[in-house]
Amino acid sequence: MTYVFNACVGDWLRDGHLQLKDLWNVLMYAIPLIFIALSGGLAVAGGVYAILNSLYTKGQMFILKRKMGKLALQASREGADVRP
């Protein structure tokens, strides 16, 4: 970001004065773009987290169903009530 800012205002700094209005115009467009990029990155991270959480939950449910099926099969063979 420093390189972009220096490219935009480098000639003003070389002249020895800094025009506040022009600097404000640069910042008026740079700051919202920074926030848009940040929010996009957070949205992607949130989406990836939600997908991974869903996959983990489905995996845990699959393991639990398989375990419960084995216990039910064992209980039907033995005639006993086997609970986890």
Would you state the pLDDT for residue 82? 56
Q: Find, among 32, 24, 31, the residue nearest to 12 by Cα.
A: 24
CA-based torsion, 48, 53, 59, 62: positive or negative: negative
Answer yes or no: is 83 within a domain: no
What is the separation, in whole angstroms, between the first and last Cα of the chain? 57
- The CB density around residue 75, as the number of other CB atoms within 10 Å, is 13
Q: Which domain holds residue 36?
A: 2-78
Going residue by residue through the chain, which has 84 residues, state the pLDDT in tens, using 9 for 90 and above.
667 767 766 666 665 556 667 777 778 888 999 999 999 999 999 999 999 999 999 999 999 999 998 888 887 776 656 565
What's the predicted TM-score (pTM) here?
A: 0.57
**For the chain, how many structural domains are there in total?**
1
Answer whether residue 63 is part of any domain. Answer: yes
Does residue 84 sit within a domain?
no
Angle value at C-alpha 39, between 33 and 43, nearest 5 degrees: 145
pLDDT in tens, 24-42: 777 888 899 999 999 999 9
The full length of the chain comes to 84
Q: What is the reported pLDDT for 11?
A: 66
